[in-house]
Every structure is written in C-alpha cells, then in structure tokens.
Chains A and B, each alone.
Chain A
C-alpha cells in the first residue's frame, strides 16, 4: 500500500500554472528525490501537501485519508513533517524549546492542567524533556540545547529544523533543499544522516535538492518536474539518462 498519493495535483496562481496535473505515489520507507530547474514547482508541491496552499485541482491522500482542505496543523497531525527552504525556526526560542514545540500535540494537557500543573503535568513534561535530549544528542546538538535558535550557525539551524520535524513523530518527512549552503564535508554528513533517519525511525523521506551529488547519492527514486509538469520518474540511473530531463536542465539556456 502506498503512503502518499498525489493525483492530478494542479496549482494555478492567477494565469500562471505553477504545478500542472502531477500524479505521484510514495511508498512507505522510500527515500525519494524531487528535482527540477528553478521555478519548476517543487516547493509548491510541498506547500500543497502540507496544506499551506489549497490545490486548484487534484487530490492528495495520505495513509488512506484525504488531505485536501485540511489545515496545515491537521496535516502535521496525520504524520507529515517538513522543513523549509529558507529555514523557519522560532528565532526567540531556545533549541530545546524549538523542538519541544514539536511535541506540543503529544502532551494532552488542557488549559486548566497547564495553569494548575498537577503531578501528571510534570510527568509529561519530564518524559518529553528526555525524548528531546535524546533527539538532540542523536543530532549532535546537545551542546547548543539552550542557545537561542537565531544565534545558531546555518548548518545547525538546518539540523534543528529536522529535529523539530522529527519531534512530531512523522511517517513522511519532507525536506526542502536540506543541503543548501553546506560545504562538501557537511553534505556528506547530511547524506548519512538522512539515511540514518529513514532506517532508525522507519519513515519515508521526500526531498527537494539541487545538488545532484546528494540526490543521486541517496535517493532510491527520483521524480523530475519542469514548468510544473512531471517529465520523468525512476531510479537515479534512469533519470540521469532520460533525454527529457537533460533537455529540461540544459534547455533553459536556449
């Protein structure tokens, strides 16, 4: 059974068709890449899946549920987490609290409980704190635990964003250009981290990436978008040799 189904997904902004009838499926545990030239509509696909944009047409189903029309936080609740191209952390919160926000829904304490703070409140908070520390340790961020997010280095910010996404306990993780701005060593580390994530947490990962080395190195399947339309899909090898893809990447200089 497939995890995520996109059917005829279309997004138009005024006269511009950003995403044009894209159909795609993602299986559980798959590491999949979404590539294409700038403006191909990759991030728009992410935004439709996560409910930031309402698709003009088409369906999205995840784990058997329809996602179209659901609010972003409801979609997050079904098990889809994401990072952003232009990093969106909570700048005034510490690294620890950034991640803790991701656990907000895991704690089912009402407003009275939050004000009066009975024993169960503290128990819950303690459990969460342990989980967060565990996650931070796993990502090598424990030293920056109490640092404000805005004071972190770029690479650390990217990793915190991933940790925060993982805090929601997702089944599918969407990564938007995770390697942007990283040097080759960092990219190498990132690739092993992504693989590790999939294996350790048993999730599917869909990533947008411009760095072909990263994409070809870790993705098991790749889908290529151009001008909003899907032009190819397959293994890295197949995609690399697809004439349409070559044309799309080179043809833009015509």
Chain B
C-alpha cells in the first residue's frame, strides 16, 4: 500500500515538470505572427491533412516573401492530430496555450474541428477551418453562432442543395440513386441534403445505398442500383473511393453519369484507367483548376513547382484560409484576438482561389459553387451555381 503514496508523489513531480516546461503563452512583443495549424498528418485521413498543410505552407511562403503581414513575418506552427479526437484536443490546446497563436487553422474532419471549436471559444482565439463542412462547427447544437469559429468551405446543406438543383434543372434528371460513405459524416451530410432538396423539387430518390470508408468493393451496392435504372447516381464521397466506384459501375454496365461534391477534387481521381470511367460525370466544387484567371493559374503552377503534383480541393482551401487570415489581420491592424475575430467576421468578397468569399452571419463562407464536368480526365468548367 505504499504504492498509492508513491504514485501521488510521482504525480506531483510530473506536475512540477510540466509546469516548468510549458512557458504558457508569453505575451512578449515578438516580430513574428504565429499561426497554428492542427492537422491529421498521420492516420486515417492523413491524405487530406497533408494536402491542406501543403496549401497553407505555400500561402505562408508567398506572404512572407511579399513582406509578411503588418511588417511581420508569419510563423506557421503545424501540430499533428494523428486523425484522432484526443490529439486534436491536445494539438489545439497546445497551439493556443503554449505557442500563443493568433489564429488557429484546421481541421479537415468536422469531428476533429468540433473538438477544437469549444477550446477556441473558451480561449477566445479565432479559429478558421479550411474544410470542415458540418454546420455544427460554427453554429452549436442550440443554434448559437460560435463567436470565434469560421470556415472557408461550403457547408453540407449548400453543396447538397446545389447538386440537387443542378441535377434537376441542368441535367433534367428525374430518378436518382445515392451511394454514400457511412463512416464519413461529410458524405452522410451531403447525401441527406441532396435527398431533401431533390425530393422537394419533385424528383425521386430510388435508393440510398451506403458503404464504409476503406472498403474497395462496391459491386453489391452498384448491382442493386443498376437494377433500378436511375438517371444518375449521386456519390458524395472522397476521390479515394469514388474512382473505384466509377470503375466498378462501368464494369457492371452502368452508363449514367455520377454526381459528386468537392471531395472528388484531386488529380488522383481520374488517373490511369479511371479516366474513362469518370468521363461525363459532374461534381460541385469551389473553383476549377482549369480556370484561366491569372490567380488560379499562378496557384496551380506554383503548387506543382513546389510539390510536383497538382493541388486538390483541400490544398486550395488551406491556401485560401491562410490568405483570409492574413487579410483579416491586416484589416484589424493588430494581432489582438478580438480585432482579428471581428475582421474575420467582416470578410467580404475576398478574392480567393476557391471563389469570392464572404463570411456570413453563421460564420460560413458565402460563395458561389461551380459545377465541373469531367472531360478526358480534365475537370472543365460547366456551370456556376449561386447559393
């Protein structure tokens, strides 16, 4: 029974060690502006976390090369969440308490952003998520807008609605089947909103089939869908699975177009043999890589130069998020948390890669969506959909 006492001593020691080690967000005047990014660099969704981080890093490099913000250089601190909620909490808290970051960027997964959002609220540090689409991230369950939390991306309802509208009006489809990823709240959210809008417009949802992320065989679901003979299939998943779904659908003799959301946006989507399978499909997105405006072109080229690959939606959103933060700090004229928060909430028509972004009352990004059509493996602009 000496163990308990010894344990307590050990706990005390550990506590002292921790409190000596942490330098608890010193308020000293520094010549850099610290921006924190908590991201899934390892684990299940590392692919999206790594892309976002690349986009943010590119933006920071550019901003610093152009003289920084308010005459100060930006110091980006990235912390890994290992795709887990436990580490998301730790990473966010560390960036705020220990590093004293001015703004917190992250996460891809809404669930991980939802762990950090209450922390940002409590610590009164503005947080901008590049790609968490669940409405709850900025507006809590009771309908209260979180004062310090903003986002750059669409929310699930918006993209679901846009694509439903597009399917009904532009493609004149009447009967649609849905294939969603049950393990992914983004996919589930898009599917739900697509169904609601499409049915409200008089369309018919034939079936709502599901799969689990990481599965690679979708033939069972697709066989069922094929037998219903839909006009199109809505597949609001990530490109990691969509390519396989498209290929297997074509193998089963399904020829109707597949429709999707911004999760499709990656050069990997149509690589190799998937090119043919996805020909003539459509997805909603923030922008088009094929966009010839100088801004987009410069971004795409720079990204390719730095990383040897074309950017996906996550990279573009990360890039935009960083620029919006820089813009807000510039407008605020200081790194004061309240001022930056206010400036963020007043973001209006910010010309980003992913569209002209205005932060609305719900702290969501108000911007128009584009629908891209896949032609010979390229994502070509097809239509602009207003919110």
Question: Quick check: do A and B touch in the complex, using CB within 8 A?
Answer: no
